[in-house]
Amino acid sequence: MNRYSVFGFFLIILFLGVLQKGFAQSTQYQYLSGTDKDHTITWDFYINTGMKSGSWNKIQVPSNWEQQGFGTYNYFTDTNNPEEQGQYKYRFTMPSKDTGKTIFIVFEASMTDTEVKINGKSAGPVHQGGFYRFKYNITKLLNFGGENLLEVTVNKRSANTSVNQAERKADFWLFGGIFRPVYLEKTPSTYIDRIAIDAKADGSLSVNVFAANLSDRNIIKLQVQKLSGEAIGIPVYVNAKSGLEKYTLRQLVKGIVSWNPEAPKLYNLIVSITDSKGVVHQTKQRFGFRTVEMRPQDGFYVNNKRVIFKGVNRHSHWPESGRATSKELSLMDVKLIKEMNMNAVRMSHYPPDQHFLDVCDSLGLFVIDELTGWQAKYDTIVGKKLVKELVERDVNHPSVVLWANGNEGGWNTALDTEFDLYDPQKRFVFHPWEKFNGTDTKHYPDYNYVVNSVLYGKEIFFPTEFMHGLQDGGHAAGLSDFWSLMLKHPYTAGGFLWAFHDEGAARTDKDGKIDIAGNSAPDGILGPHREKEASFFAIREIWSPISISQKSIPEKFNGKLDIENHYTYTNLSTCTFQWKLVSLPFPGTTATLRTTAAGKVNAISLPPGSKGTLSLNLPVNWYTNDVLYLTAFGPDNREVYTWSWPVKSPESLLEKIPVDKASSKAGVSEQDSSLVITSNGTQYHFARNTGYLQKVITPKSEVSLSGGAVLAGVKHTLQSLKHYSRGEEYIVEPVYKGPSKFIVKWVFKLGKPVELEYQYTMPGESDFTGISFNYPESLIIGMKWQGRGPYRVWKNRLEGQQFGVWHKYYNNTITGESWDYPEFKGYHADVYWVTIENKQAHFTVYTSRQNMFFQMLRPLKAAGASNNNTAPPFPEGNIGFLHAISPIGTKFQAADRMGPQSQKNIQLNYTPISGSLWFDFK
């Protein structure tokens, strides 16, 4: 070995020694379980009842045992096998080098009563409460340098009645088992147990340090750092005293940037215990500077800015793993929440995984952190313990701005003051659903409740559950009306939609079939695997912090758009905008979508709450295109929203329909029951007793379009069936008698598709208005259309869909019960033309009016629906061209309780409604 190699060897030894000393100064972790649902460790397991009971098996930890094929599934109550108990065993080695350290065993959460033994000896009292972190000092129970046996007994139901009432009599899946990680926490004998930070937006910093086994020779040091490791400000010191466990260090840190969800600036706090030899123990905590205030008869303020919560309720859940999750899942969920332009999330109805709060801190979301109590409360003894565990774990997260003491009656008022014992920030504590302590968080208010609250309410108003999203109802349906009204409330603080995703469980006893517990769990904006429903995109538009209200592009558009800044902290000068003009393909051509021009918009300085004008500077020939898109990007370069406007009218596209030059004039023949018109080589059969189209026969195939034209929802009787020449045209005109004036004319022209002219009036209110036909559902294979898509719409949920050319294949999706999105069936908005793809012969229908809706079939009612609130009416015909459509309600409210857009339709000023449809069967 040469001298350079020897020197290098000693450098490595020196480095390893320093590294080992560094590790010894910080808390070390030894995982006994896996780290998350995707990284598990095998333990021995025995269960006394249910699936695979009565013998020892292997189980993956962390997990809910039902999702590993053990025990019994329950929702709402532990009705089946209430005495279910699981026993775990795991052997692990404790290194000799850990002798002299303090060793804790930590359970991030276990359902429900959990008894822990190390080498046959109890680690401490049975822990009660299934959603909370707990730990035991097991130093004296361990065999250092040898093998150790961990034994855990978990009872699904608690021996404490109040725990069962609070946690296991609830509207969610009642799983069992060790579903969050288990690990050993290793510290020196003198150590920092925990810290509690109060960091204000002005840089004021107060830190409570809780330490053990300190002596007069120790010093506690505090240093703020950027995430890069660069120190901010000077360190702060305090001398320790023997026997004293709590120390408070204060500092004014200059030059900091405060945390908010639009710019979530974070720092590290390094807290150390030192002695004359150096650092004894050190901990690092990520945190943010921000000030949270509740101002009575005013609102919630963060950093002296009034905040409006655009929030959603979220369960910690994944179909295949139950409540066992992962940081990757937390990251995905927070990104999805942010993508909807939300700024807040409520933990329903229990504290989440630590990594979820970490992601909320780093990406920026306000969080309501909740003590469990679905509709019943913990008793005071166990409740105090669980409040302590909740707050001590989550106190340092800047994202957490409110504590919720239970839910819908599940609050023990004796616990309200307990939160402050462990929270130096003294966050506001409230009761979701109750008028309490200056707040009104009414659950599922109807529109009239909000009206009255705006007029008479004196409390800060923010419903912590509203717009219940059962199946395809609620959520964005009616949200525009609600939100506009809520923003007029003098003390509004926003609200939280119910809920983020369908809480479907992949049942191991049913070959992985996803169970959504009837109508209890299919209430998400997303499906169980985060499949996006239409409301996802509509919410994104309604809650966009950049608001553009332009509904249509006028003929003499000057390229300027009115714009509003709905951010709380962000000037639009930090945002960017891009536009593009697109030419769309037309039926029967080989053309594809083509971007003809694109550009960026000059930055506009617009403070929060301000209005201004955005100038696009479009090219002079902009009007020759089919659609204009405008995309806004936030300061983080994330897309905020894309708006789209058709440039041309539907009528202008009719000129593109090719003329059949080889065609001949219409021919007429009368049969016993039919009138047959032959035009351009195609036969049209009309029923002589109804005037309805019966079928169409082309040179290649028969097309079973029939049963129309009918005025949807109105019964008429045929008086006569007229047919006659009108110049070069031939007319078929059924004459009807009924409660409304209904005029129909089929116009056959040389070389062109047949035109249906119609005009009608509507008697009184109606669920829908327009023209309807029938076509066999079994023959339909898909649809392609120019209009808004790709999702269906309701009268009270028109937002979120982009104008373009879309295609989707047939599916029979029932929202919330199957998740093949977008749904095929339903109403589609702003349709210019539609090609109905079928097993006979594809045909295309062109419209002449803007704002036309196309009805594709009729969605099935959900099997779990207990009422018709989320099953709106449809015409009897299954192919419709409509001028007005029905709204949808929520789980708890019929549509007409949900605001102006949710009412039935009325005819405007008694003006007859008219239009034309062109049917092309070539």
The pLDDT score that the predictor gives to residue 662 is: 67
Across 36-56, average pLDDT: 99
> What Rg value do the Cα atoms of the chain yield, rounded?
33
Do residues 394 and 400 touch, judged by C-beta distance below 8 A? yes
Is residue 203 within 8 A of residue 253, CB to CB? The reply is: yes
pLDDT in tens, 365-385: 999 999 999 999 999 999 999
Task: With a cut of 70, say whether residue 333 has pLDDT above it.
Answer: yes
- In this structure, which amino acid lies at residue 173? W
Whether the pLDDT of residue 274 is over 70: the answer is yes
pLDDT at 922: 84
The Cβ-side half-sphere exposure at 90, using a 13 Å CA radius, reads 23
Asked whether the predicted pLDDT for residue 14 surpasses 50, the reply is no
Cβ atoms 779, 838 nearer than 8 A: yes
Mean per-residue pLDDT, 599-624: 96
SS (H, E, C) 299-356: EEEECCEECCEEEEEECCCECCCECCCCHHHHHHHHHHHHHCCCCEEEECCCCCCHHH
Report the pLDDT averaged over residues 877-892: 98
What number of other Cβ atoms are within 10 A of residue 274's Cβ?
Answer: 18
Q: What is the pLDDT of residue 763?
A: 79
Dihedral of CA atoms 76, 78, 79, 80 in degrees, nearest 10, equals: 120
Strand ranges, E, within 657-716:
667-670, 674-679, 682-687, 693-697, 702-703, 706-711
Share the mean pLDDT of the chain. 96
- CA 155 – CA 814 distance, rounded (Å): 37
Residue 10 has pLDDT above 80, yes or no: no
- Give tens-digit pLDDT for 216-233: 999 999 999 999 999 999
- Give the residue among 107, 112, 152, 142 at the shortest CA–CA distance from 129: 112
What angle do the packed helices 327-339 and 534-542 form, to 10 degrees? 60
The answer to whether the pTM exceeds 0.75 is yes
**pLDDT of 244:** 97
Query: Quick check: 340 and 539 in contact, CB under 8 A?
Result: yes
**Residue range 592-611: mean pLDDT, rounded:** 95
Judged against a pLDDT cut of 60, whether residue 878 lies above it is answered with yes
Q: What percent of the chain has pLDDT over 90?
A: 93
Q: What is residue 722's predicted lDDT score, i.e. its pLDDT?
A: 97
Q: Say how far apart CA 175 and CA 75 lie, in whole Å.
A: 9
Task: Fill in the DSSP letter of residue 778.
Answer: G
How far apart CA 144 and CA 123 sit, in angstroms, is 16
Q: What share of the chain is helix, strand, coil (3-state, %, to 5)?
A: 15, 40, 45
Residue 282: band (very low, low, confident or very high) from pLDDT cuts 50, 70, 90: very high
- Is the confidence at residue 4, as pLDDT, over 70? no
Cα dihedral: 399, 402, 404, 405 (round 10): 120
Is residue 910 very low, low, confident or very high in pLDDT (cuts 50, 70, 90)? Answer: confident
| Phi, then psi, of 137 in degrees rounded to 5 | -80, 110
- Single-letter code of the amino acid located at 863: A
489: amino acid identity, one letter: H
For 194, counting Cβ atoms within 10 Å of its Cβ (0-12 exposed, 13-18 middle, 19+ buried), the class is middle
Q: How confident is the model at residue 2 (pLDDT cuts 50, 70, 90)?
A: very low
Q: Among residues 870, 862, 917, which one has the least CA distance to residue 893?
A: 870
Mean pLDDT of 893-915: 94
| Main-chain phi, psi angles of 634, to 5 degrees | -80, 180
Are the beta carbons of 570 and 635 closer than 8 angstroms?
A: yes
Assess whether pLDDT exceeds 70 at residue 18: no
Structural domains of the chain in order of their starting residue, each with its CATH number: 25-187 (2.60.120.260), 297-542 (3.20.20.80), 554-646 (2.60.40.10)
Q: According to the model, what pLDDT value does residue 588 have?
A: 81
Residue 357's pLDDT band, with cuts at 50, 70 and 90, is very high
- In the predicted structure, residue 17 carries a pLDDT above the cut 70: no
pLDDT in tens, 486-511: 999 999 999 999 999 999 999 999 99
Nearby residues of 450 by Cβ (< 8 Å), 6 or more positions away: 461, 482, 485, 486, 489
With beta carbons less than 8 A apart as the criterion, state whether 559 and 616 touch: yes
CB 134 within 8 A of CB 124: no
Q: For residues 791 and 537, give the distance between their C-alpha atoms in angstroms, rounded to a whole number.
A: 9
Which of the pair, 10 or 589, is modelled with greater confidence? 589
- DSSP 8-state symbol, 439: E
- 742-800 pLDDT per residue, tens: 999 999 999 999 999 999 998 789 999 999 999 999 999 999 999 999 999 999 999 99
In this prediction, residues 282-288 reach a mean pLDDT of 98
Instruction: Tell me how far CA of residue 194 lies from CA of 150, 310, 338, in angstroms.
Output: 25, 32, 31
Burial class (CB in 10 A: 0-12, 13-18, 19+), 777: middle
Instruction: Please tell me the distance from the alpha carbon of residue 132 to that of residue 22, in angstroms, as a whole number.
Output: 30
- Residue 12 is predicted with a pLDDT of 37
Segment 281-301 shows an average pLDDT of 98
Report the SS3 class of residue 556. Answer: coil
